[in-house]
Structure 1
Amino acid sequence: MSGIPAQSPGPRPLHVLQLLGSGGAGTGDHVRSLAAGLVARGVKVTVCAPATAERHYRFADVGARFAELPAGSRTRAAWRAHTLAARADLVHAHGLRAGAVAALATRARPVPLVLTWHVRRDAYGPTAPLRDATEAMVARASSVVLGATTDLVDRARRRGARDARLAPVGLPGSRTPSADAPGSRSARRELGLGESPLLLATATLEPGQGHETLLSAAGHWRDRGAPPLLALVGDGPLRTDLERRVTREQLPVRLLGDRRDGRRLLAAADIAVSAGGWDGRGLAAQEALRVGVPLVAAGVGGMPRLVGDAAVLVPAAEPRALADAVTGLLADPDRRAALSAAGRSRAESWPTEDHTVAHVLSVYDEFA
């Protein structure tokens, strides 16, 4: 024997399974940021998501293990998540769909389930009861629900959540370019803008995102000299219908689809626009204010609390009010400059990534 005392092993690191769907509505950016911060603090992180999410967000690059979530079948997805959850200390689901998979996956072997509820998707008609039932199932199965806005916290409580809290979510600011980045000039050239103003809206092309309002507003400014071009970044089931309307009404609108260079386009914009009927954290709005791009947005959901006086808020679903706000800003460079400065200042008051990671870790400590 060497006489050297055996080294006692240190405590086993916490192992957390992060579960998400497509990564839309900012969940992909949030999970990547969260995974990086957790790994840096010694937490073992497995991210389970569709292969498309890994290709886009590259969770493995920040030290997380990636496991593919099968697409198409909730049963197959739940079984995959169940297998992974059996080796984890805690499951953290992001979004209602991922939460439903996690609730099914943790039934047989109870594992603490944290749900971050990022956005609200309302359902109408025959699908409304199913939506309500899914929300109730996920809320009741969760050890704690972290809501992105106060109304989501209230909604989780109404659905039967045992514990629901408002959660700070700081997204990566360093990945957002400055408004004077060289790439902004090339972006304008690619769009063939010349001296025409550029308006940018970023949202999935699905009901409830305000695209019909945006197109109606574009009809109001269509006949003015050098009308602004409204560029829509995002894709979804409404794309064909929106393209037909743009062509039929000859609107100064261009649908760009999903773009990896959305932040470069934002830096090139004169004004960012958000017309959604409900917006939780206003992810596109956050990016606009960080860059210093003046914002016109529907004053709904968490938007007023997010932006304060650093943006122009208009009533939802009122195209004329939106159009008047946009044209008024375009005619007032001093007001745009003031909003640009106010936006950057407001963004500095938001939670940082470190703040978000520390908060999440404190929640994990309660349950793991």
Structure 2
Amino acid sequence: MTCRVEPTSPPRRRPVHVLHVLGCAAPGPDRDVPSAVTCAHLRSLVAGLVAHGIRVTVHAPPRAEIACGLTEAGARVIPGGSGRRAVRSLRAALAEADLVHAHGQRAAALAALARQLRRPRAPLIVNWHPREPEPVRERALRLLERRVAAAASVVLAASTGLVDRARLCGARDARLAPPAPAVPRRADSETEDAEHGPKLRAEIGAVDRPLLLAAGRLDARHTYRTALTAARSWRRLGPPPLLAVVGEGPERAALQAMIDTEELPVRLLGRRDDVLDLLHVADLAMLTPGDADQELFAREALWAGVPLVGTGAHEVRELAGEAGALTRPGDAEALAGTVARLLEEPAGLAEMSFVSRSRGAALPTEEHSIAHVLSVYDELLASPAA
């Protein structure tokens, strides 16, 4: 009598579970709301990971989920709170996570503390963000950076300068990981897509006039007053360009009063989730100093084929090359003259747009960016220390 043995299928491996941690961007009002550009990149990353079978949980300040729509991208979102409450909720979320991926040094500091209390062997990936000097808190921030660098299994940075900074702070493994451009809104049909741009320009008052787009927090560090001062001379151009600014912040009332009093060709659009769509219909993208997302915005502009003006850090100047006409911080006269010259020379502006698109085409694609993050996850999970 032959005993027949039924074949058994191998046990199903549960999906890899990654806990993403978002934190406060900076002290002050609206500090727990990421910028529109950051939100677009987070949605892109989450959606890409979910599409590859990764289970994603995001621990974020409550307003961040409303702003970024991460649930729609496929993530489970846990409201983060602040201080001890954030650490407690992070400890609970860590119970089922295979890896922790923190975005920014403040988020990483919280994640490292919670991990130490609950699962000290869980790998920690940190996206190292640029920051502006804060003289009053500089010593504390440097200490925080050193602690984060020491705790991180891998640090991912968008530029070589940030890689060097992370290593200087003590990171054992810091790697270059340039972000890919996020995907802007896509219309449901080709007809709607063709009509979307003109409708968007009409909505913000940029019909038959050049459109300059800036995006960032309305605070003293971003020095929008330089751009508004430059806009005084643009009133003499025919037609005068419109500077549209996406963002919110404590300086909004003062900036709006300056716009109204001097009748400047500037509109403060507030917070919007279609900043990438606006960028794709702009003639120029304006960079402001003090913006932690400056390089992300510059990359999006290049991808869209939009030349860059304003003020750029060293990494941004290298990134833009001849697709940028960047001036010194605070030099309103130089900014005004640069914008006027570009708008009065259509052939030169068209050449810059071509260069911008060419440089944008050389940037990593969304698929490359997701694949790179997945390879880091695989490497850390395969490590004996995990």
2:72 aligned with 1:57: no
Preserved contact between residue 120 and residue 152 of structure 1 (Cα < 8 Å): no
Superposition deviation, residue 338 in structure 1:
1.4
Mark the CA change 1:25 to 1:226 in structure 2 (over 3 Å): closer, same or farther: closer
1:59-98 aligned at under 5 Å gives the runs 59-70=70-81, 73-98=82-107
2:362 aligned with 1:362: no
AA aligned to 2:46 is: A
1:234-253 aligned at under 5 Å gives the runs 234-253=247-266
2: CA distance, partners of 1:323 / 1:136:
41
Which residue does the alignment assign to 1:296? 309
Mark the CA change 1:355 to 1:194 in structure 2 (over 3 Å): closer, same or farther: closer
AA aligned to 2:38 is: T
Return 45-54 or 329-338, whichever deviates more: 45-54
Which residue does the alignment assign to 2:124? 113
1:155-304 aligned at under 5 Å gives the runs 155-175=165-185, 181-277=194-290, 282-304=295-317
Superposition deviation, residue 335 in structure 1:
1.2
SS at match of 2:145: helix
Match of 2:19 among 7, 10, 17: 17
AA aligned to 2:20 is: Q
Superposition deviation, residue 341 in structure 1:
1.9
Superposition deviation, residue 181 in structure 1:
4.1
1: CA distance, partners of 2:251 / 2:316:
24
Preserved contact between residue 272 and residue 296 of structure 1 (Cα < 8 Å): yes
Superposition deviation, residue 293 in structure 1:
2.7
AA aligned to 1:150 is: T
String of CA shifts for 1:125-176, please: whole Å, max 9, x gaps: x222222222222222211211122222222222222222211211323537
- State the TM-score, normalizing by the size of structure 2: 0.85
1: CA distance, partners of 2:17 / 2:271:
33
AA aligned to 1:116 is: N
SS at match of 1:237: coil
2:131 aligned with 1:131: no
Superposition deviation, residue 361 in structure 1:
1.9
Match of 2:362 among 327, 346, 349: 349
Superposition deviation, residue 103 in structure 1:
1.8
SS at match of 1:107: helix
Which residue does the alignment assign to 1:4? 6
Mark the CA change 1:264 to 1:147 in structure 2 (over 3 Å): closer, same or farther: closer
Mark the CA change 1:24 to 1:259 in structure 2 (over 3 Å): closer, same or farther: closer
Superposition deviation, residue 350 in structure 1:
0.5
2: CA distance, partners of 1:121 / 1:232:
20
1: CA distance, partners of 2:60 / 2:328:
36
String of CA shifts for 1:239-272, please: whole Å, max 9, x gaps: 1222233234443222111123323433443322
1: CA distance, partners of 2:11 / 2:197:
53
Superposition deviation, residue 207 in structure 1:
3.4
SS at match of 1:175: coil
1: CA distance, partners of 2:132 / 2:87:
21
Superposition deviation, residue 25 in structure 1:
6.6
Preserved contact between residue 305 and residue 360 of structure 2 (Cα < 8 Å): no
Superposition deviation, residue 90 in structure 1:
0.9
SS at match of 1:282: helix
String of CA shifts for 1:162-196, please: whole Å, max 9, x gaps: 22221121132353789x94233223333344543
AA aligned to 1:5 is: P
String of CA shifts for 1:261-318, please: whole Å, max 9, x gaps: 3234334433221122466662222232322333214231421232222222222332
Mark the CA change 1:60 to 1:306 in structure 2 (over 3 Å): closer, same or farther: same
String of CA shifts for 1:74-109, please: whole Å, max 9, x gaps: 211121111111211110001122112212211212
2: CA distance, partners of 1:34 / 1:50:
18
Match of 2:160 among 111, 127, 150: 150
Mark the CA change 1:92 to 1:225 in structure 2 (over 3 Å): closer, same or farther: same
SS at match of 2:221: coil
1: CA distance, partners of 2:150 / 2:227:
37
Equivalent residue pairs, number: 364
Which residue does the alignment assign to 1:308? 321
2: CA distance, partners of 1:292 / 1:302:
19
Superposition deviation, residue 30 in structure 1:
2.5
Q: Which runs of 5+ in 2 are unaligned?
A: 24-32, 382-386
Superposition deviation, residue 354 in structure 1:
1.4
Superposition deviation, residue 225 in structure 1:
4.8
String of CA shifts for 1:178-232, please: whole Å, max 9, x gaps: 9x94233223333344543322111121333241221222133344454322111
State the identity as a percent: 46
Preserved contact between residue 37 and residue 293 of structure 2 (Cα < 8 Å): no
- State the TM-score, normalizing by the size of structure 1: 0.89
SS at match of 2:134: coil
Mark the CA change 1:181 to 1:266 in structure 2 (over 3 Å): closer, same or farther: farther
Q: Which runs of 5+ in 1 are unaligned?
A: none
Superposition deviation, residue 234 in structure 1:
0.6
